[in-house]
Structure 1
Amino acid sequence: MYRRVSILLRKHFVSVLILCASIVIPFSAVKAADPAKGKQIFQQNCASCHNVHKKLTGPALAGVEGRWADKKLLHQWIHNSASVLASGDKYANDLFNEYNKTAMTAFPSLTNEDIDDILAFIKVEEAKPVGGTPKEGPATAGAKEQGSDNSLLFGIITLILAVVALILMQINSNLNKLAGDKEGHPTPEPIPFYKNKAYIALGILVLFMVGGYFTIQGAIGLGRQKDYMPEQPIFYSHKVHAGINQINCLYCHAGAEKSKHAMIPSENICMNCHKAIKEYSGPELFTAEGKKVDGTAEIAKLYDYVGWDAEKGKYTKPGRPIEWTKIHNLPDHVYFNHSQHVVAGKQQCQTCHGAITEMDEVHQFADLSMGWCINCHRTTKVQFADNNYYSIFEKLHQDIKDKKIDSVTVEMVGGTECQKCHY
Structure 2
Amino acid sequence: MSELRTIAQRIALSVILLSFLSFANEAAAQDGKALFKANCAACHNIAKDATGPALKDVESRWPSKQLLVTWIKNWNKAVATGDAYAVKIKEWNPGVAMSVFENLSDKDVDAILAYIKTETDALNAAPTTVPGGPGGKTEESDNSLLYGVLTLILAVVSLIMLQVNANLRKLADDKDGVPAAEPIPFYRNKSYITLMTIVLFVIAGYFLSQWAIGMGRQKGYQPDQPIFYSHKVHAGTNQINCLYCHGGAYEGKHANIPSVNVCMNCHNNIKEYGGEKLYKEDGTEVNGTEELKKLFAAAGWDPAQNKYVGQGKPIEWVKIHNLPDHVYFNHSQHTKAGKVQCQTCHGEINKMDEVYQFSELSMGWCVNCHRESKVDFNDEKGGGNKFYSIYEKYHKEIKEKKRDSVTVSDIGGLECQKCHY
CA contact (8 A) 2:221 2:356 kept: yes
* Residues 1:46 and 1:163: Cα distance change in structure 2 (over 3 Å): closer
Instruction: In structure 2, give the amino acid aligned to 1:419.
Output: Q
Report the CA distance between 1:6 and its aligned residue: 2.7
* Residues 1:402 and 1:61: Cα distance change in structure 2 (over 3 Å): farther
Report the CA distance between 1:170 and its aligned residue: 1.6
CA contact (8 A) 1:229 1:364 kept: yes
Q: 1:400: which partner in 2?
A: 398
CA contact (8 A) 2:56 2:116 kept: no
Q: Pairwise mapping of residues 254-333 of structure 1 onto structure 2 (< 5 A)?
A: 254-333=247-326
Report the CA distance between 1:324 and its aligned residue: 1.4
Q: Is 1:89 aligned with 2:94? A: no
Instruction: In structure 1, give the amino acid aligned to 2:267.
Output: H
Q: Is 1:389 aligned with 2:387? A: yes
Q: 1:72: which partner in 2?
A: 66
Q: Is 1:420 aligned with 2:418? A: yes
CA–CA distance in structure 2, aligned partners of residues 223 and 263 of structure 1: 22
Q: Pairwise mapping of residues 324-363 of structure 1 onto structure 2 (< 5 A)?
A: 324-363=317-356
Q: Is 1:170 aligned with 2:168? A: no
* Residues 1:370 and 1:61: Cα distance change in structure 2 (over 3 Å): closer
Q: Is 1:233 aligned with 2:222? A: no
Instruction: In structure 1, give the amino acid aligned to 2:356.
Output: H
Report the CA distance between 1:185 and its aligned residue: 2.4
**Which runs of 5 or more structure 2 residues have no equivalent in the other structure?**
124-132
Q: 1:5: which partner in 2?
A: 4
Instruction: In structure 2, give the amino acid aligned to 1:267.
Output: V
CA contact (8 A) 1:31 1:150 kept: no
Q: 2:239: which partner in 1?
A: 246
CA contact (8 A) 2:186 2:192 kept: yes
CA–CA distance in structure 1, aligned partners of residues 165 and 54 of structure 2: 62
CA–CA distance in structure 2, aligned partners of residues 82 and 244 of structure 1: 33
Q: Pairwise mapping of residues 358-373 of structure 1 onto structure 2 (< 5 A)?
A: 358-373=351-366
Report the CA distance between 1:269 and its aligned residue: 1.5
SS at match of 2:154: helix
* Residues 1:148 and 1:210: Cα distance change in structure 2 (over 3 Å): closer
CA contact (8 A) 2:43 2:347 kept: no
CA contact (8 A) 2:12 2:161 kept: yes
CA contact (8 A) 2:38 2:364 kept: no
Q: Is 1:107 aligned with 2:101? A: yes
CA–CA distance in structure 2, aligned partners of residues 37 and 149 of structure 1: 15
CA contact (8 A) 2:268 2:303 kept: yes
CA–CA distance in structure 2, aligned partners of residues 421 and 269 of structure 1: 32
SS at match of 1:357: helix
CA contact (8 A) 1:52 1:122 kept: no
Instruction: In structure 1, give the amino acid aligned to 2:4.
Output: V
CA contact (8 A) 1:381 1:410 kept: yes
Report the CA distance between 1:290 and its aligned residue: 3.7
TM-score, normalising length from structure 1?
0.78
* Residues 1:46 and 1:59: Cα distance change in structure 2 (over 3 Å): closer
CA contact (8 A) 2:71 2:78 kept: yes
* Residues 1:296 and 1:372: Cα distance change in structure 2 (over 3 Å): same
Report the CA distance between 1:242 and its aligned residue: 1.6
Deviates more, 1:225-234 or 1:102-111: 102-111
CA–CA distance in structure 2, aligned partners of residues 16 and 167 of structure 1: 10
CA–CA distance in structure 2, aligned partners of residues 39 and 371 of structure 1: 10
SS at match of 2:340: coil
CA contact (8 A) 1:232 1:324 kept: yes
String of CA shifts for 1:48-83, please: whole Å, max 9, x gaps. xxx959xx9x99999986775322122212212455
CA contact (8 A) 1:180 1:187 kept: yes
CA–CA distance in structure 1, aligned partners of residues 337 and 205 of structure 2: 42
SS at match of 1:189: coil
Instruction: In structure 2, give the amino acid aligned to 1:79.
Output: K
* Residues 1:84 and 1:401: Cα distance change in structure 2 (over 3 Å): farther
Between the two proteins, what is the percent identity of the paired residues?
53
* Residues 1:26 and 1:243: Cα distance change in structure 2 (over 3 Å): same
* Residues 1:46 and 1:410: Cα distance change in structure 2 (over 3 Å): farther
Report the CA distance between 1:25 and its aligned residue: 7.8
Instruction: In structure 1, give the amino acid aligned to 2:368.
Output: N
SS at match of 1:90: coil
Q: Pairwise mapping of residues 36-185 of structure 1 onto structure 2 (< 5 A)?
A: 42=40, 44-45=42-43, 68-84=62-78, 89-91=81-83, 95=87, 105-109=99-103, 111-112=108-109, 113-114=111-112, 151=144, 154-185=147-178
Report the CA distance between 1:105 and its aligned residue: 3.5
SS at match of 1:44: coil
Instruction: In structure 1, give the amino acid aligned to 2:260.
Output: E
Instruction: In structure 1, give the amino acid aligned to 2:5.
Output: S
Report the CA distance between 1:251 and its aligned residue: 1.3
